[in-house]
């Protein structure tokens, strides 16, 4: 969980420092929080990337994307617990 969230945050920071920033890619990343929680490692990565990128986002949709990433984190966490109990 911490590893994939950390990798996502690292990706987000690298993306923001890069020169090729695409608003379409960011919107896709941010909205992918609505489905990536189904596979917890991907959900934690998406949360980390969205959260770190959104720290510099000052657009009007910032609060919405923060809520989406927080929901993705918690849904991924719950799903990981359920999967761990199911697979154990």
In tens, the pLDDT along 16-51 reads: 887 777 777 778 888 888 899 899 999 999 999 998
pTM of the model: 0.81
Spatial CA neighbour of 73 closest among 34, 49, 39, 37? 37
In tens, the pLDDT along 45-84 reads: 999 999 888 888 777 788 888 888 999 999 999 999 999 9
For residue 81, the model assigns a pLDDT of 94
What CA–CA distance (Å, rounded) separates 72 from 39? 10
For residue 15, the model assigns a pLDDT of 82
């Amino acid at each position: 969980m911490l590893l994939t969230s950390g990798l996502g945050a690292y990706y987000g920071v690298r993306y923001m420092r890069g020169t090729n920033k695409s608003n379409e890619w960011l919107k896709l990343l941010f909205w992918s929080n609505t489905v990536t929680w189904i596979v917890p490692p991907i959900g934690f990565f998406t949360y980390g990337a969205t959260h770190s990128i959104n720290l510099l986002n000052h657009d009007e949709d910032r609060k919405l994307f923060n809520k989406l990433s927080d929901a993705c984190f918690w849904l991924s966490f719950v799903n990981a617990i359920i999967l761990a109990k199911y697979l154990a």
